[in-house]
Structure 1
Amino acid sequence: MAEGDAGIFADLRLVDERSVAGTTLDAALTGAETPFVVRGLVRDWPLVQAGLESGLAARDYLLRRRRDAPFTVSVGAPGSDGRLFYDEAMRMNFRVAKAKLPDIFRQIDAVEAQPDAPPIYLASIDMHDYFTGLAEANTVDLGAREPLASIWIGTRTRIAAHNDFPRNLACVAVGRRRFTLFPREQFRNLYLGPIDNTPAGRAVSMVDFHAPDFARYPGFREALRHAQVVELEPGDALYIPSMWWHHVEGLAPFNVLVNYWWRDTPRWLGQPQDALNHALMAIRDLPADERAHWRDMFDHYVFGDPDAARAHIPEGARSVLDPLTPDSAARIRAFLLRQLSR
């Protein structure tokens, strides 16, 4: 954070730190509903060791394992304090391009030492698709979980507070990162922007954490009462429960993070965000009495007791009211696609 912001954030509660000595990471993650940090969890990774030598050594390590494919990169403006966000017209304040990794790293080489360097950011790159052997050489044992492994590479950046549907284990490989986290229910006090026009697919907080405007966003003071903050060094890992809000800052001139996302539910189930988007289109602008009826229907079929909703229907005839299977979920998906294509 900026020099003058220390008073705003100095009293934030620190994220709980845990040791997995005498237990396993799997056991620590099972049932965990609040964030926690494991210091030094991945310090032995070859990528971490290369980064401890220098940012250039880390980039060389990554280049030797890259696939010859174009990478998606976001490039902001010089002097933007690393913030990848909206401009005053609510367009993105950065451009998105495709380039080979050596070319991107040459740009980083040229600006790494500049204090007002433009942010250069490669977000959520699939490690298996874009690198050879990188995921296998730098990995965490997550037991029976089947995570998606992604790598995030960039200069100094600030990513607005957002949340993700899967559970998340974020491991700092190079540089330093600061996370500021908020429980799920604080979304109103974070003043979210549009849910369709977003920097990276998720609605983000409109509050500038380096210069919060409390007159415009008064509820943010309440959000800060519930916030937790942590700074991670190379090798440290942070567990973020599903749907927790997190503001992320890359603090070093060059930063690399590897994260693992996994769901508690099967991947063939739908994305809740899609249901919200559809409800905005189909329900929000109905007359008040009809909206109230649909709220009651959602409570009955979605949020209520599923056994009570189907008990009067003979077994074998309950269709999608029974617990979903890959086949019944596929039928719902096909039905929705037909309806939406009309």
Structure 2
Amino acid sequence: MDSVTSTEFGAPMAELACSSGIVPEGVLNGAEPVVLRGLVAHWPIVHAANESNRAAVDYLTRFYNGKPVNAFLATPEANGRIFYNETVDGFNFAQSQVYLDDALNKIIDVADQPNQPTYYVGSLEIPQHLPGFDAENALDLGQTSVREGIWLGNQSVVAPHFDFPDNIACCIIGERTFTLFPPEQQANLYVGPLDFTPAGQPISMVDMNNPDLDRFPRFAEAMNAAITVTLKPGDAIFVPSMWWHSVASKSALNGLVNYWWRSTPAYLGVPTNALLHAILSIKYLPKEQREAWQALFNHYVFEQPDDMYDHLPAPVKQKQNQMSELTARKLKALLSSKLK
């Protein structure tokens, strides 16, 4: 492909200068996206990328330990869009196990060719496949249980989706345009199946390259609420939990390092699992029963009145107000037995 075309829209995003390589205080606890210009401009991989794509590939492959990686490959007709097929019973790409150095060299080889296929290696765990890279290209977020991944490929467009963890994404090679939508815009994004997704997360069915407002009229409201930014190598962005975001990789070779962490312990599980179970057990109940369960969820989950356990003896009240790892394990075991 000559380039991935995209319809860019959205208001500019808030920005902070971060030449010191330190995330400004308060950003990681915020609820709004923030661009962090120059946050990782000092990284060796960014210096290599600014020299050339070949220098960037040579730098990355110094750390590669030869383990196969999962790659997405789409034909030129996909125009870089990682998506479903026409009937939404499959996808417009194939997945295969490849060697990362072979994939990166292939991207370099076809960089000047028209009608390129799309190569996409996503969410590759750095310690598992590029040991030592994070020692030379480090970012201290002051968080525990941070998952560090790298995303590599040529030009592509990833549909709007959300992630449960908070996220700092650092552009290391090429340019990437992020378009973000607030969580309350979910109803205007025309989300696809929850149980059948291209990469694990539900995605918007709207083509970000060419939004069809006749088919998806409410997306016009989402466009009005969107914010956008283009990152260059060395820039980063903080994407808060549950914000929908689309990412367009703009260059012949693109690289991104991201850090995911959550504000609650991992033993509490992932809310998406609760959503799927609620769809299974509540969605098809009669209206009156659904409303009764909605009231229970509001009381125990979403509203949580301060005095909701005041009528219980103090030891029982304390137990009900706390969620320890032991209690979480007991609840999971109970759920597992009931689901059988």
Normalised-by-shorter TM-score class = over 0.9
Deviations 1:3-62 (A, max 9, x none): 6846xx2xx211111124799515142431111111111111111111112212211111
Distance 1:70 1:21, change over 3 A: closer
Matched to 2:81, the amino acid is R
CA shift at 1:208, angstroms? 0.6
Identity %: 39
Distance 1:46 1:4, change over 3 A: closer
Indicate the residue corresponding to 2:44 in structure 1: 46
Matched to 2:178, the amino acid is F
Q: In 2, Cα distance between the equivalents of 1:319 and 1:284?
A: 32
TM-score (norm. length: structure 1): 0.93
Structure 1: tracts of 5 or more residues without a match: none
Q: In 2, Cα distance between the equivalents of 1:54 and 1:83?
A: 25
Q: In 2, Cα distance between the equivalents of 1:164 and 1:22?
A: 28
Matched to 2:35, the amino acid is V
Structure 2: tracts of 5 or more residues without a match: none
Indicate the residue corresponding to 1:58 in structure 2: 56
Deviations 1:288-327 (A, max 9, x none): 1111111111111111225433222223335863210111
CA shift at 1:68, angstroms? 2.4
- The within-5 A match list for 1:246-261 is 246-261=245-260
Indicate the residue corresponding to 2:228 in structure 1: 229
1:201 aligns with 2:200: yes
CA shift at 1:111, angstroms? 2.1
Pick the aligned partner of 2:72 from 71, 74, 85.
Answer: 74
Indicate the residue corresponding to 2:99 in structure 1: 100
Q: In 2, Cα distance between the equivalents of 1:31 and 1:4?
A: 32
Equivalent residue of 2:76, what SS?
coil
Q: In 2, Cα distance between the equivalents of 1:97 and 1:318?
A: 53
* Number of equivalenced pairs: 337
Equivalent residue of 2:312, what SS?
coil
- The within-5 A match list for 1:1-342 is 5=7, 9=9, 12-20=10-18, 24-90=22-88, 91-305=90-304, 307-317=306-316, 321-340=320-339, 342=340
Equivalent residue of 1:203, what SS?
coil
Q: Report if aligned partners of 1:150, 1:259 keep a CA contact under 8 Å in 2.
A: yes
Which runs of at least 4 in structure 1 moved beyond 6 Å after TM superposition? 1-4
Bigger mean CA offset, 322-331 vs 302-311: 302-311
Q: Report if aligned partners of 1:175, 1:254 keep a CA contact under 8 Å in 2.
A: yes
Q: In 1, Cα distance between the equivalents of 2:21 and 2:42?
A: 19
TM-score (norm. length: structure 2): 0.94
Q: Report if aligned partners of 1:190, 1:205 keep a CA contact under 8 Å in 2.
A: yes
Q: In 2, Cα distance between the equivalents of 1:259 and 1:22?
A: 19
Q: Report if aligned partners of 1:40, 1:235 keep a CA contact under 8 Å in 2.
A: yes
CA shift at 1:99, angstroms? 1.6
Please give the root-mean-square deviation of Cα atoms over the aligned residues, in Å: 1.9
Q: Report if aligned partners of 1:172, 1:235 keep a CA contact under 8 Å in 2.
A: yes
Deviations 1:95-120 (A, max 9, x none): 11112222222332332222321111
Q: In 1, Cα distance between the equivalents of 2:17 and 2:152?
A: 27
